[in-house]
Amino acid sequence: MRLIILLSTFAMVVLLAAGCEQTTISTGPVMSNEKTGTPMVKKLSLTAAPQQTIIRGGTDDVAIKISRENFDAPVTIRLSELPQGIEAPATEIVIPAGQVSTTVKLKAADDANVGEFKVDIDAQAEGLPDNVQTFTLAVKEKQTITPDGAPY
């Protein structure tokens, strides 16, 4: 039975990794179900796109999804390692119990550093280890349009 669960979990992770999102999972200590006495493990899954792009002077939405197993407590989301010139409106966002997603709007200054940067998404819930996922944020120059409509 454990082998089947392990193989199923591995297959799900491979399928998700091959798609356009990535998922990381953190698990907590085994607890007993109060009604049945069967063991239960708290589990928090975090899903987000592995790549985001923002243009200098623009904004970009980072969609973050979570799933909870065997708990329904709030989950705190933090973004860290944002490059110079990129801001998020809040240092932390709480996904309340019963909700499963949030969107963080990033804003790039006109002089934001251009390049590709690794940004961490940290999901925290009481009684679980931090669930940290890294995505690549590509910061690009604004394109200037010539009078004939061609970018340069």
71-127: pLDDT as tens digits = 999 999 999 999 999 999 888 999 999 999 999 999 999 999 999 999 999 999 998
Sequence letter at residue 121: I
At 9, list the tokens: 């979990």
CATH of domain 21-27+40-140: 2.60.40.10
31-69: pLDDT as tens digits = 666 677 777 889 999 999 999 999 999 999 999 999 999
At 63, list the tokens: 């969609």
Q: Where are the domains of the chain?
A: 21-27+40-140
Per-residue pLDDT, averaged over 138-151, amounts to: 77
**Beta-strand relationship, 131-140 and 51-55:** parallel
pTM: 0.74
